[in-house]
Structure 1
Amino acid sequence: MLRASAPRQLRWLLSARQALGRPLQRMLLPLALGLLLALVALVALAQINLGENLTGGNGRTIPDGVNRFGEIEVTEVTSPIDGEVLFKIASPTVLDRSQVVEGQHPVEQRAREIQARVELAAVERQMDGDSLRVEKATLNNVMVITARDDKHSRPLVLASVTNADANYYGLPVEEVAETWRLGLEKEIRDFSYRLRPENLARSLWRFLSILLVMAVGTALILLIKNRIRRRQQVLQTRLDTCLESLRQNDATPAEEGSEGRNDNLNETTLKTVRLRRRLGLWGLWQWLFFWMLLVLLYGGTYLLIGQLPGQATLTRSLVDVPLKLLTVWFCATLAIRFSIRLLDRFEARWLDRQASRGGDGSQSKRLRLRFSTILDAGRGLLVVVISVAGLLSVLGVLGVPSSSILAISGLLGLAISFGAQNLVRDLVNGFLILAEDQFAIGDVINVGGYSGAVERLNLRVTQLRSADGEFITLPNSTISQVKNLTRNWSRVNVSVDVDVDSDPDLALAVTRRTGEQLQQDPDWGGLIVAPPAVLGIDAIGHGGMRVTIWIDTAPGQHWAVSREFRLRLLRDLHQAGIRLGSPRQTYLGQPPQLEAFQDP
């Protein structure tokens, strides 16, 4: 009988291994794609801030906005009024800006000086556009551009035109100076005209119009977000109901052959996946409307400040660091949502295939629990990787040199290696537990002197619920040897001591008949996966003869089957007139003398 059941159990083990291995191999594809997406996000985010912040903070770094062409460096001169580019200037190359030799003027310093003088003439002095005179002149053998009006008779030097500028443009110094003079004159005169009452009134009207559009748009977006939030609450309530049903099902081991229950489980599982996908879709809409609101407020603020004369410096600050930080934030959250969405779609397709195939209920439940655990770990890993990529990009945007970022990362890695060794071991051992399928949620295990059903499993800890209701948390690094009591199938191992004077053949026959009747019972036969095997008489002693029987059951059903079998066996033994064994002792020798203990 043992030989007959062994091939069946072997085939069951092989099929279970194949069923568990194929989904794990298929799941590596979306995980790999998610990690690749995280790597692409890291590279993309790292390219947001080019220049000084990516190569270090030493003096040999080319600043942002400066282009080097051999012996000259070129940068743009922007208007301090509206932020538009006025022209480009050139200066001899400065290799080490930390040690500038006297007489050298880095090109970015020249650009800042020109912008400051234009701001002085237009904003501070508010030169009159009607009497404004922007002229070319020669000062110390250098062509310069000056500005004056009726209120300010002393010329103000706005910019100087050097041979490096002429070499860059490929024109004579006089022609370059004339081009610059026209541009500076137009800039100062336009600002003067903007300060006139009629132009200020038009700016105020545009300011109020933009403010009204911002208010209406914000109210509309908030209304839509509120309706989406209500829809999410309804779906979340339905999802919680389905999850509670799944948890109750997981707490009750599946019975082999209970197809109706399996169909209900598959239907509930698919409904849960669909609800999660719908929640994810509504969450995506919520996220998109959040960014629409953010763009509306950010863009509206930029346009509002643009209506204020002479606030180009403030508008430029709005499109520099804050815009880069928002871009990093957007790319990181988009990568996280796309990666999680990819894993969710894979999970839904896999569950659809499993539901269409049907099969053993306990095996399907085990696959589903293992898949959910691994996918949760994969989601957490992707979130951590993409978040670290975003954090590194934020440090670069804030001006932290890459050399400092690498040094900080090295120190953190060193600190983690010493201070978080147990955590690293927990994560590694947790990954191995999941990859090797040592146990899953719902299994009953015995590890380190603790026994209970696995209620939660992640990369760091395993949490059990003991038979007494105790909630036990075990770090994965402490798990070295595991006894899985409900893996694939379970076994009832019952040994009964019968009286030594009883007929051994009758005792074996009664035990075998009780096991066969239990297997033929419709209420219990579905839980028994192989015919009961009576091993025979295992021991003979003064307590009686020990009869042993094995009954292979569905995972986790051996406790219930064992209790029912013991009850039936006890009744059958009583009906057959077979008594249970009891210890016997025989005393040899003379009885004790009682006279010695009588009173004299």
Structure 2
Amino acid sequence: MMVNFFRYRQLFPIRSLISWGMMSILSCMITLTYASSAMGFFTPQLESEKIEHSISLLNPNPDVINVGNVYAASVRLDGYEIFKVTATDGVKTESSENVLSPPKFARLRAQLVENELKGIVSNHLYGGIFNQGFQKETLTVTVAKRNGITVVIAYDDDKLRERQIVTVTEEDAEFYGYSVPQWAQKLAEIIKNALIRAQQERNVNYIIHQLLWSLIIIAVAIVFSWVILGLQRKLGKQRHLLMVQEPINELVLSPSDLSTIKEELSLAAQQSKFLKVREKQQEYRRKLDWIRLKRRLLQSGQAIIWILASLGILELFPWTRWIFGEFLEKPLIVVILFLGISVTIRLSSICIDRYIQILIEEASICPKIFNGIGVSQRRASRLSTVAEISKDLVFWIFIALGILLALDILEFPIKALLTGAGVLGIAISFVAQSLIKDLINGMQILRQDRYVIGDFIQVQETWGLVEGFSLTVTKIRGPQGRLTTVPNGDIRVVHNLTKEWARIDLYIKISHDADVDLAMKVMQQVAQQMQEDPQWRDCILEPTVLMGVNNLDHTGVEIQYWMKTKATQQWAVGREYRRRLKLAFDEKGIHLGMPQESRLMQNPSGMLKIRDNDIN
């Protein structure tokens, strides 16, 4: 069925969602812009030309990368990656007793180079509050030969003695596509620029400027947090006003409304009441979910603002810049991942509810397409049940996906975990057999449409209205408001009292002296009158079937009668039919069967006689 576009706009408030989402993104972008400005505007430009391998402002700390049989590890100074050093297979220690794996040897080389660079920058031979480390004007970083090996050395004309920084190997040069002499010259320029920048970042004026920008970043974050907090309070008030109107108490059927099956009170009114209240509750939940989604977007935006502000402040200073790459990068990515998953779960629930609502409205607008109002109501109940199951599945799928992605980000061996999980799953399957049984039976119940939310069912000795259904349990609201939770694995035989159609099995006993043919004719006439009555004709689905005389005994003649009705209408139709039949029988003089008792005596003349003198 074609659905009007304006209905989609009403069900999916796209503008509102885009507005709230753009507000959160804009806040994050503005905060990040201020942080980037602070980190870039006051960063002194390097005196030499820009090199090919420029240093990224927020460059993450990569692990050792592998290209063929070459492993490359990053060399960092003040949190910036400068270059990479490599290692190949078959590297041994000097003692030849232990063999270092290429990744470990690459990390070792990188650590040794970083130690040399930090030693040059923090040379304590130069006094003062902030160590100068070397003289920028006379700093020399050049290429030299030591024992036939190409190395890069650094020194100045004052107190910095010659220090060997890195050995240039053929693998290092090939990794970057240079010859050894070319890469050594390029590397000397890179190291000199990095040392000069590190010294400039330790300048008093630079630090003061960065402190000023830290205050600006904090102020901007506070302003946007205050705005977002005000919007959260506004949404909190809307949520409180909405929760006051929650129709949750109406779902609890009063004891006067419930009865046992034997009392044959009408379940149609109870089911209708439940479905109407459930529809109100679903509308209430949709509004509440929409408010929760907006709050979750604001909360995520506020969290991201402070995360970016904190990262921006850490990136401003050389002493703290390394913290992000070493400790905070991956945990923060995991935090942002789960924030996104949380928002996605909320949005998915809203989309599922909106889509199900469209399908239900289609069925209610054109019930003829779905073979009548009863079928469309049944379709609506089934769709509501599917919606609840779908939201649970979406929740667990996103949670499982988030856990796997988080483990991958944190570099846990996922393959080994999955292999172990397979073995562990086999062990758990023996322990959690009942849970697996509940899940499988729950899927079968849903697939076979045995019952849905809103049906009246009987499971063994438990009966009542299905108030909740999941893949593991079924919640049944029984007499006196009693809520019974039945594991799906324990449901083998279920009696659905309200699915599709019902039938009245009437057994009427008339007395032996009554005219059987007349009684059957009267019963047929009463049924025909009810089928022609506008009040009852929609409740009776097919012409009634008079089965005939079913039994003869001392109480009378039993006549069997069948009448097919709509689901949940069998009790009301049966009560009305019995009332009309009693009046018709009284009018025709047909009496109902009554128990009769006969006593036979073998010697009636042998009765005891009472003598006259005994009377006196």
Tell me the TM-score range normalised by the shorter chain.
0.7 to 0.9
Compared CA separation, residues 214 and 538, structure 1 to 2 (3 A): same
In the TM superposition, what is the alpha-carbon distance from 1:209 to its structure 2 partner?
0.9
The one-character-per-residue Cα deviations of 1:244-283 (angstroms, maximum 9, x if unpaired) are 58999x998669xxxxx99xx89995x8777666555544
Distance 2:213 2:554 in 1: 106
Match of 1:294 among 296, 300, 303: 303
Residue in 2 that maps onto 1:36: none
Which aligned pairs between 1:513-528 and structure 2 lie closer than 5 A? 513-528=525-540
Q: What is the DSSP-based 3-state SS (H/G/I as helix, E as strand, rest coil) of the residue aligned with 1:195?
A: coil
The answer to whether residue 207 in structure 2 is matched with residue 176 in structure 1 is: no
CA distance in 2, matches of 1:235, 1:470: 27
Query: Contact conserved, 2:504 with 2:563, CA < 8 A, in 1?
Result: yes
Q: Pick from 164, 168, 172: which aligns with 2:171?
A: 164
Instruction: Spell out the pairing of 1:382-393 with structure 2 (5 A cutoff).
Output: 382-393=394-405
Does 2:112 correspond to 1:113?
yes
Change (3 A) 1:175 1:466: closer
Assess if the C-alpha contact under 8 Å between 2:456 and 2:497 holds in 1.
yes
Tell me the equivalent position of 1:371: 383
| Structure 1 counterpart of 2:584, one-letter code | D
Secondary structure, counterpart of 1:480 in structure 2: coil
| Structure 1 position 587 matched with structure 2 position 586 | no
More helix, by proportion = 1
Q: Give the 5 Å matches for 1:482-521.
A: 482-521=494-533
Contact 2:247 2:281 in 1 (8 A): no
Q: Do the aligned partners of residues 316 and 132 (structure 1) sit closer, same or farther apart at CA in structure 2, a change above 3 Å counting?
A: farther
In 1, distance between residues paired with 2:66 and 2:411?
A: 21
Answering whether residue 407 of structure 2 is matched by residue 409 of structure 1, we say no
Does residue 86 of structure 2 align to residue 87 of structure 1?
A: no
> For 1:71 and 1:487, how far apart are their aligned partners in 2?
68
Once the two structures are TM-superposed, the CA of residue 391 in structure 1 deviates from its matched residue by 1.0
1:468 Cα deviation after fit? 5.7
Deviation at 1:460, TM superposition (A): 1.5
552-561 or 588-597: which moved more? 588-597
Q: Structure 2: which amino acid aligns with 1:90?
A: T
Partner of 1:356: 365
User: Could you tell me how far 1:169 is from its partner in structure 2?
Assistant: 4.7
Preserved contact between residue 302 and residue 318 of structure 1 (Cα < 8 Å): no
2:135–2:158 Cα contact (<8 Å) kept: no
Aligned to 1:574: 586
C-alpha contact (below 8 Å) 1:489/1:555 kept by paired residues: yes
- For 1:133, which of 116, 139, 142 is the aligned residue? 139
Give the Cα separation in 2 of the matches to 1:457 and 1:585. 54
Which residues in structure 2 correspond to 1:153-232 (within 5 Å)?
153-169=160-176, 171=178, 173-232=180-239
Bigger CA drift: 299-308 or 560-569? Answer: 560-569
Identify which of 400, 417, 425 aligns with 2:437. Answer: 425
Answering whether residue 72 of structure 2 is matched by residue 74 of structure 1, we say yes
| Residue 101 of structure 1, aligned match among 94, 99, 114 | 99
Change (3 A) 1:469 1:506: farther
8 Å CA contact retained: 1:422, 1:477: yes
**The 10-residue stretch of structure 1 (442-451 or 162-171) with the greater mean CA deviation from structure 2:** 162-171
Return the offset for 1:297: 0.8
Shift of 1:75: 3.7
Q: Deviation string for 1:334-390 (max 9, x for gaps)?
A: 553554454334313312321220354332221111111112112211221221121
Count of aligned residue pairs for this structure pair:
525
**Alpha-carbon separation, structure 1, partners of 2:595 and 2:516:** 18
SS in 2 for 1:91: strand
Partner letter of residue 207 of structure 1? Answer: S
Q: 1:104-154, CA deviations, whole angstroms, 9 ceiling, x for partnerless residues?
A: 872232112212221232246431444763444444443433445688554
Q: Which residue of 2 aligns with 1:122?
A: 121
The CA deviation at 1:454 is: 2.4
Counterpart of 2:550 (choices 506, 527, 538) is 538
Deviations 1:473-492 (A, max 9, x none): 32222222333222222122
SS of the residue 1:442 aligns to: coil
Residues 281-338 of structure 1: CA distance to partner in whole angstroms, max 9, x if unpaired?
A: 5444333323322221111101111223322321323663123313532553455355
The secondary structure found in structure 1 opposite 2:151 is strand
Q: What's the Cα RMSD here?
A: 3.9
User: Do 1:94 and 1:100's aligned partners in 2 also have CA atoms closer than 8 Å?
Assistant: no
**CA–CA distance in 2 between the matches of 1:282 and 1:409?**
38
Going from structure 1 to structure 2, the CA distance change for 1:549 and 1:469 (only over 3 Å counts) comes to farther
- How far apart are the structure 2 equivalents of 1:516 and 1:548? 16
Q: Equivalents in 1 of 2:523, 2:316: separation in Å?
A: 96
Give the CA deviation at 1:418. Answer: 0.6
Whole-angstrom distance in 2 between the partners of 1:71 and 1:545: 98
Retained in 1: the 8 A contact 2:90–2:99? Answer: no
Compared CA separation, residues 298 and 247, structure 1 to 2 (3 A):
farther
- Matches of 1:313 and 1:504, distance apart in 2: 101
Label 1:484 to 1:378 Cα distance change in 2 as closer, same or farther (>3 A). same
| Counterpart contact for 1:144–1:157, Cα < 8 Å | yes
- Which 5+ residue runs of structure 1 have no aligned equivalent? 1-18, 20-62, 256-260
Q: Which region of structure 1 is more displaced relative to structure 2, 306-315 or 69-78? A: 69-78
1:131, 1:150 within 8 Å by CA — same for their partners in 2? no
Q: Does 1:454 align with 2:466?
A: yes
1:490 touches 1:552 (CA, 8 Å); kept in 2?
Answer: yes
Equivalences for residues 205-284 of structure 1 within 5 A: 205-234=212-241, 240-241=246-247, 279-284=288-293
1:320 is paired with a residue of what secondary structure? helix
Take 1:353 and 1:267, find their aligned partners in 2: how far apart are those partners? 20
Q: Which residue identity lines up with residue 469 of structure 2 in the other structure?
A: L
Partner SS state of residue 119, structure 2? helix
Distance (Å, rounded) in 1 between the aligned partners of 2:139 and 2:373? 91
Consecutive unaligned residues in structure 2, runs of 5 or more: 2-60, 125-130, 259-265
Task: Report SS of the residue matched to 2:319.
Answer: coil
- CA 1:247/1:276 → structure 2, altered by over 3 Å: closer, same or farther? farther
Q: How many angstroms does 1:515 deviate by?
A: 3.0
SS of the residue corresponding to residue 471 of structure 2 reads coil
The 8 Å contact of residues 139 and 156 in structure 2, kept in 1 or not, is answered as yes
Q: Could you report, residue by residue, the CA deviation over 1:512-567 in whole angstroms, capped at 9, with x for unpaired residues?
A: 33333444444444433334433332222211111222222221111122223323
Contact 1:253–1:555 at 8 Å: present in 2 too? no
| Higher mean displacement: 525-534 or 491-500 | 525-534
Cα shift at 1:411? 3.3
Q: Distance in 1 between matches of 2:562 and 2:101?
A: 98
User: Which letter maps to 1:380?
Assistant: D
Choose 532-541 or 124-133, whichever is displaced more. Answer: 124-133
C-alpha distance 266-364 of structure 1, shift in aligned 2 (>3 A): farther
